[in-house]
Amino acid sequence: MSQYYNRPTQVQTDDKGRPTAFYWRGRWKPITQAIQKQSKPTSDTLFPDPETVRYQCTTGKGMICDLARIGEVWVLERIWN
C-alpha cells in the first residue's frame, strides 16, 4: 500500500545525478539506496516522457519512496507503507 503525494521537493544528488537526500516535512532524509525505475506511459500519453527519470529510494530509517525528476524539478510521487 502507498500514499500518493506528487509534491515538489528539494533533492540533493551525487555527481551522476542520483538522489542522495530529500527534504520532507521539515527534515532532510538521507537516502541509502536509489534504484532507477523504468518510466511508464501515463493515461494522457502512449509513450513515457523522456524528460522524466524515476527512482525508488530507501532512507536510513527504512522509508521507501518514489522520487521523479521531471526536467529540472524533483517530485516526491509516493511513499510506500
11-62 pLDDT, tens digit per residue, is 999 999 999 999 999 999 999 999 999 766 555 555 566 778 999 999 999 9
In this predicted structure, what is the pLDDT of residue 39? Answer: 66
Give the DSSP letter string of 9-77.
--EEE-TTS-EEEEEETTEEEEEEEEEEE-----TT-SS--TTEEEEEEEETT--EEEEEEETTEEEEE
Question: What does the alpha-carbon distance between residue 79 and residue 6 come to, in Å, rounded to a whole number?
Answer: 10
Q: How many domains does the chain divide into? A: 1
In this predicted structure, what is the pLDDT of residue 31? Answer: 98
In this predicted structure, what is the pLDDT of residue 81? Answer: 83
In this predicted structure, what is the pLDDT of residue 46? Answer: 57
In this predicted structure, what is the pLDDT of residue 64? Answer: 97
Count CB atoms within 10 A of the CB of residue 31: 23
Domain range for 6 is 2-80
Q: Is the pLDDT of residue 63 over 60?
A: yes
